[in-house]
């Protein structure tokens, strides 16, 4: 599945299914082909995603975290920060202009 987040206040943000599913899960939502982020919910969503990024980075830098030599436990090549940054920026713009973000419509 492909997620295409759209809003009148920002350009589109496109994510592949697994990344979109993970981000929606972090926000307490079930992955679904259609949905909406209301402007009133965006500050909490931004805070949640930012906290998840901080937690992810702390676990990456913790001593003895994932073993760099073992391909099974190696951290993903693309960090969570890189995955969520476009959506966080979109949410900031949309919240400032009081516009919702939709996908699948």
Which residue, chain included where needed, has tokens 């943000």?
13
Residue 70 counted as domain residue:
no
Average pLDDT on 15-31 reads: 95
How many domains does the structure of the chain reveal? 1
Does residue 73 sit in helix, strand or coil?
coil
Residue 38 belongs to what domain range? 2-58+77-103
> What is the pLDDT, as a whole number, of residue 60?
79
**pLDDT tens, position by position, 34-92:** 999 999 999 999 999 999 999 998 887 776 655 555 666 666 678 899 999 999 999 99
**pLDDT tens, position by position, 2-19:** 999 999 999 999 999 999
What one-character DSSP code corresponds to residue 41? G
> What is the pLDDT, as a whole number, of residue 63?
66
Q: Could you tell me which residues are beta bridge partners of residue 103?
A: 5, 35
Q: Would the pLDDT of 103 be above 90?
A: yes
Average pLDDT on 22-26 reads: 96
Tell me how far apart the alpha carbons of residues 12 and 2 are, in angstroms, rounded to a whole number.
12
Residue 44 counted as domain residue:
yes
> What is the pLDDT, as a whole number, of residue 59?
85
Residue 46 counted as domain residue:
yes
Residue 68 counted as domain residue:
no
Tell me how far apart the alpha carbons of residues 84 and 88 are, in angstroms, rounded to a whole number.
6
Helix (H) or strand (E) holding 103, with range, is strand 101-103
Residue 92 counted as domain residue:
yes
Residue 67 counted as domain residue:
no
> What is the pLDDT, as a whole number, of residue 95?
98
Residue 42 counted as domain residue:
yes
């Amino acid at each position: 599945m492909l997620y295409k987040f759209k809003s009148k206040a920002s350009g589109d943000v496109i994510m592949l299914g697994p990344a979109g599913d993970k981000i929606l899960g972090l926000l307490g939502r079930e992955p679904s082909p259609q949905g909406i982020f209301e402007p009133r919910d965006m500050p909490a969503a931004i805070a949640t995603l930012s906290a998840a990024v901080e937690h992810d980075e702390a676990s990456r830098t913790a001593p003895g975290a994932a073993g760099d030599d073992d391909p099974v436990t190696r951290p993903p090549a693309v960090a969570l920060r890189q995955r969520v940054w476009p959506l966080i920026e979109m949410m900031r713009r949309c919240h400032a202009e009081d516009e919702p973000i939709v996908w699948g419509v």
